Amino acid sequence: MALPVAEWQGRTARLWAALEPALRERLAAASLQDAVRLGCDVLRSKEEEEAALEQLCHQAPMDKKPEAASWYREQGNREFKRGRYQAALRLYSRVCLEDIARAESHGYPDRLLPKVLLRKAECLLCLGRLQDAQDVLRVLESKIALDGAMTTHLTRLKKLSQLKVKLGEKERCPEPAQGEHGGTQGEPEIWEENSSISGASSSLSLSFDAERGRHLVASQDIMAGQSLVKEEAFVSVLCPGESLALQDGDTAWDTRATNADLYCHRCLRQLLASVPCQGCSYAQYCSQDCADRAWQQYHRTECPLGALLLTLGVFCHVALRTVLLAGYAEVSRLVEGSHCGDKNLQNPEGSCRPLSEADAGAGSRGVPGCDSSGRYQSSYQALFHLLPHTEQHSPEHKFLCTLSVVALCKQLQVAGLEAAVLSQESPQQCSKPKTCEKTSEELSPELKTVAEAMLRHMLQLQCNAQAITVMQEMGPGDGAVVDKKPVRLATAFFPVLSLLNHSCCPNTSVSFSGTSVTVRAAQPISSGQEVLHCYGPHWCRMRVAERQQLLRQYFFECRCPACLQELQSGVKSVVSIRNSFCCPKCQAQMQGEEDTLCCSIEACATSASRDHLSGRLQDLQQEIKKALELLRVRKADQAIKKLLKCQMDAGTFLSPEHLLMGEMEDHLAQVYATVGKWQEAARHLRKSIEIVEMHHGPSSVETGHELFKLAQILFNGFAVSEALSTIQRAEGILSVHFGPQSAQMQELQEMKACLSELPRNILQRT
């Protein structure tokens, strides 16, 4: 996904192995500039490689729309059956608008167009896009006037006037936009921007030392929940292709709705009605404005290369978009500047140094990436100075990146897109690309500069790529209890966020809204302490060995307190203790690192093979999946039966604190909630919360989400006083991680308001 497709990786690996040893050595030691030059030579002599790449492009899944349309229709049907008409209508509208857009662009028979346009206006009206609806109605009116009444049925004219009346009504008393109302509730956040680091709080300062590189330190005492960084991504690219498991169970994968169908390709907002790109079937936007801006800033160059970009992977795509956003003038200025300082860049970098470190030897010149006034901005300059670790990547990987970037730049040249890359010409001027015939032509010096910058960005991404995640609704979601899980949505560069070093037990929490990130203190941080965030391997989720393995891609060894403790004292990680097996006879913990596990109670002396227990665990997971499938098709009674059986079975070989034990309780709570058995649901969820607290800590996001669910259940079950106290606990945790203005906080506020307005006779029932 991040890297090119496997076939292209395989081809470049074979090509690498077949190169002359001398050339391999030169490539391995080459600067970025030389790597591009050598890469051009290699690719020029291997035309079959380019042909193969072109072949691979034909496999790229560019056309997903028919599947998406049927998916939306299906989802609409589900909502309709549940009586959620508003939601159903929105989903139907999504399909309908897509069909209409296609009808318009494919020369729909003229006499049928009024019907299609009426439908479109209706959809837009329902979605609250009044201006767009009005525009469509105007087009329709002029069309009818032009054709004369002969071709237009009276029913259509009636429909038109009905729609106009509705539009007028909506304009007079607009409904609040969904999800955006009440944004002023809650306490305003304290936010004072740092005078020398854009997007950072004034309570931080930028430090630099050889061991940690650039890093952020608290310059005063910080409270839990305080915002520390608010930054807009310099660049972001939607990750395509990953099917979202919107419901549990295998069938979710058949619907094939992916990020690319559900989110705006520019601002990452969820799509209600999409504005598709005129030039390709892939890019979709939330509005005409996003479509226009994306076109202007980068998509006019990317659009003709869609399949190639999907084939070469997201990192390559991010690298291209980065240089397009930066503009050629800035790219060439910094690339040329780096050649003068190449001696510095060539210095061997330490092997155990954390991410975000500065260029070697730059300490005396101040912190790299800062502008002339010493200010660190979320800019291309700062991004350019993120370390590419040129020396530390494997030569094969560098070769893969080099060939990919060179192939992409050659394609830019062949497709006549060079002018668009090098200048800010208006889209009209370059709408007629002049294609040049010979594919073996040498890259222009300007495109070589672009390729060099892109290669740098591809290498930087290995350490500095930031995944943008969203909370995606999971489970059957019948509206009463909403279960949400984080899903990877896009890959981005955040130059300021990249200043934070990693810890497996971080003191911050990161959340996203569209393409912007907010970092909050997850706990009090005292003045002088480093501000840290977790790149992924968290101590609650993985053992130290797994974490260190994952962190290898960042070219450093983690020395956070969690790692030191687990490594040095041989303390078993919480993960292994809590997720252990128990003795089938006496329920005590099973021990041993080998193939055979023994009961920890000596007198019991029961032993079991690890493989056998792992097999049972897998079977159990399969059964749980089946139970969730039953829930999905609304066979609640059978789902409950199955889950209770799973629980019994699990009790005979899993530790009572095993994460899966908690998950089963959570699932049971979900099922009981769907049939309105609120007390049962609450009972199971409380058990789940106990286990989640044990694994992730009482003030963790995970615990916060569970409390949020419990609040919903208690709310629905009119358990007023417990609901209010649970809401309060959830607020305390979620405001720290997501801030007082977040959607979750708003929902909690609304529940609270609703409970306080309940009439007395209902309150007395509880």
State the residues that interact with Zn ion by CB under 5 A.
Answer: 264, 266-267, 277, 279-280, 283, 286, 290, 303, 504, 558, 560, 563, 583, 585-586, 588, 599, 601, 604, 606
Residue nearer to Zn ion on the CB measure, 267 or 724: 267
* In the complex, minimum distance from the CB of residue 549 to Zn ion, in angstroms, rounded to a whole number: 12
Residue nearer to Zn ion on the CB measure, 606 or 638: 606
Reported as type and span, the H/E element at residue 132 is helix 130-147
Residue nearer to Zn ion on the CB measure, 449 or 516: 516
Reported as type and span, the H/E element at residue 100 is helix 85-105
467 beta partners: 491
Measured distance between the N- and C-terminal CA atoms of the chain, rounded to whole angstroms: 52
Categorise residue 416: left if φ over 0, alpha if ψ from -120 to 50, beta otherwise: left
* In the complex, minimum distance from the CB of residue 560 to Zn ion, in angstroms, rounded to a whole number: 3
The closest of 187, 221, 196, 233 to 510, measured between CA atoms, is: 233
Residue nearer to Zn ion on the CB measure, 273 or 730: 273
Residue 214 to residue 211: CA distance in whole angstroms: 9
- Whether the Cβ atoms of residue 124 and residue 136 lie closer than 8 Å to each other: yes
* In the complex, minimum distance from the CB of residue 261 to Zn ion, in angstroms, rounded to a whole number: 14
CA distances from 27 to 42, 388, 445, 622, 674 (A): 11, 16, 20, 48, 61
469 is written with which tokens? 């995640």
Residue nearer to Zn ion on the CB measure, 32 or 283: 283
- Whether the Cβ atoms of residue 589 and residue 582 lie closer than 8 Å to each other: yes
Residue nearer to Zn ion on the CB measure, 52 or 604: 604
* In the complex, minimum distance from the CB of residue 348 to Zn ion, in angstroms, rounded to a whole number: 25
Residue nearer to Zn ion on the CB measure, 312 or 406: 312
Residue 284 to residue 275: CA distance in whole angstroms: 6
596 beta partners: 609
CA distances from 642 to 481, 625, 639, 667, 669 (A): 21, 10, 5, 11, 14
* In the complex, minimum distance from the CB of residue 514 to Zn ion, in angstroms, rounded to a whole number: 8
Residue 271 to residue 285: CA distance in whole angstroms: 7
Residue 649 to residue 237: CA distance in whole angstroms: 45
Residue nearer to Zn ion on the CB measure, 78 or 265: 265
Residue nearer to Zn ion on the CB measure, 82 or 269: 269
C-beta atoms surrounding 472 within 10 Å:
18
* In the complex, minimum distance from the CB of residue 562 to Zn ion, in angstroms, rounded to a whole number: 5
* In the complex, minimum distance from the CB of residue 547 to Zn ion, in angstroms, rounded to a whole number: 6
* In the complex, minimum distance from the CB of residue 504 to Zn ion, in angstroms, rounded to a whole number: 3
Residue 201 to residue 674: CA distance in whole angstroms: 44
* In the complex, minimum distance from the CB of residue 553 to Zn ion, in angstroms, rounded to a whole number: 14
C-beta atoms surrounding 34 within 10 Å:
15
